């Protein structure tokens, strides 16, 4: 039997869709007092909701900086690129998309992008401009990061080359990365820092490096560039979004 959730006054908590009145109460309270304690907030604001529910409603819907409406091509493109690198780490992806929430991005992925992405990978794996390297679920990622006894091989990690390392390397194809390259690059750097912590840990324990020949992101994009005009990112995103 399901337990009925109750608030701190032992009143049964309301669940389901929020009414405009509840929204108003929450907004008014936060505007007046700010956010201090989500657990106490519903009581103080006169809402029969759990603190969690209030937080979710505010974060995903009521915040003034939420951008509503359809995702732009650029946003979708960014999500796809970041998902390649970060996997299902929606909050990290959302952090790079001002005004978009993790829930919104997660829903977009689950309802629209995922199936087309899978289909695309099956049908045109060779054409899709994919960044190779990590595509790791959060649970997997955390497990690896925190585990002191990693006994499974880590995926091949992209390595960021320092400027001096990249001498003679092909230049980045601007058409592919355009404005979001720095974004992707930043994230890869962050990921590498974490992965390198693991490697450092293992190496300091006298273990071998976990992955074989390292490669640069620049090397990867060169492969992308090899596809030339036959498959631009824009075309790919179109296909993911509209299946055309």
Partner DNA sequence: AACTCGGGCAACCGCGAGGTC
Partner DNA sequence: CGACCTCGCGGTTGCCCGAGT
Residue whose C-alpha is closest to residue 86's, from 161, 140, 122: 140
Rule CB under 7 A: say whether 120 interacts with DNA: no
The one among 124, 137, 175, 179 contacting DNA by CB under 7 A? 137
Cβ distance to DNA smaller for residue 1 or 126: 1
Cβ distance to DNA smaller for residue 155 or 173: 155
Interacting residues with DNA between 15 and 54 (CB under 7 A):
15-18, 36-40, 49-53
Cβ distance to DNA smaller for residue 101 or 217: 101
Binding pattern for the stretch 90-109 against DNA, x by CB under 7 A and - elsewhere: xxx---------xxx-xxx-
**Smallest gap from residue 20 Cβ to DNA (A):** 10
**Smallest gap from residue 126 Cβ to DNA (A):** 26
**Smallest gap from residue 44 Cβ to DNA (A):** 12
β-pair partners for 215: 158
Place of tokens 């908590």: 13
Q: What HEC string does the chain produce?
A: CCCCCECCCCCECCCCCCCHHHHHHHHHHHHHHCCCCCCCHHHHHCCCCCHHHHHHHHHHHHCCCCCCCCCCHHHHHHHHHHHHHHCCCHHHHHHCCCCCCHHHHHHHHHHHHHHHHHHHHHHHCCCCCCCCCCCCCHHHHHHHHHCCCCCCCCCCCEECCCCCCCCCCCCCCHHHHHHHHHHHHHHHHHHHHHHHHHHHHHHHCCCCCCCCCCEEHHHHHHHHHHCHHHCCHHHHHHHHHHCC
Rule CB under 7 A: say whether 123 interacts with DNA: no
Binding segment toward DNA, per CB under 7 A, in 72-80, 134-142, 161-169, 189-197:
134-142
Cβ distance to DNA smaller for residue 115 or 171: 115
**Smallest gap from residue 153 Cβ to DNA (A):** 21
Cβ distance to DNA smaller for residue 77 or 104: 104
**Smallest gap from residue 112 Cβ to DNA (A):** 5
Rule CB under 7 A: say whether 146 interacts with DNA: yes
Q: Determine the Cα–Cα distance for residues 180 and 1; give it in Å rounded to an integer.
A: 50
User: Under the rule (CB under 7 A), what is the footprint of DNA?
Assistant: 5, 14-18, 36-40, 49-53, 55-57, 60-61, 88-92, 102-104, 106-108, 110-112, 137-139, 142, 146
């Amino acid at each position: 039997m399901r337990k009925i959730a109750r608030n701190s006054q032992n009143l049964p908590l309301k669940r389901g869709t929020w009414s405009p009145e509840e929204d108003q109460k929450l907004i008014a309270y936060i505007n007046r007092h700010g956010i201090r304690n989500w657990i106490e907030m519903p009581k103080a604001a006169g809402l029969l909701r759990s603190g969690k529910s209030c937080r979710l409603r505010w974060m995903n819907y009521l915040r003034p900086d939420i951008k509503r409406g359809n995702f732009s091509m650029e946003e979708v493109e960014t999500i796809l690129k970041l998902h390649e690198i970060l996997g299902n780490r929606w909050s990290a992806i959302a952090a790079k998309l001002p005004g978009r929430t993790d829930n919104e991005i997660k829903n977009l992925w689950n309802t629209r992008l995922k199936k087309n992405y899978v289909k695309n990978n099956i049908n045109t794996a060779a054409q899709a401009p994919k960044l190779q390297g990590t595509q790791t679920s959060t649970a997997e990622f955390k497990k690896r990061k925190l585990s002191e006894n990693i006994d499974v091989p880590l995926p091949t990690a992209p390595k960021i080359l320092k400027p001096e390392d990249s001498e003679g390397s092909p230049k980045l194809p601007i058409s592919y990365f355009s404005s979001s390259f720095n974004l992707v690059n930043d994230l890869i750097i962050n990921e590498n820092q974490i992965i390198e912590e693991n490697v450092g840990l293992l190496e300091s324990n006298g273990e071998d490096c976990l992955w074989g020949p390292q490669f640069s992101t620049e090397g990867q994009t060169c492969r992308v560039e090899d596809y030339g005009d036959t498959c631009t990112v824009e075309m790919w995103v179109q296909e993911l979004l509209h299946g055309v």
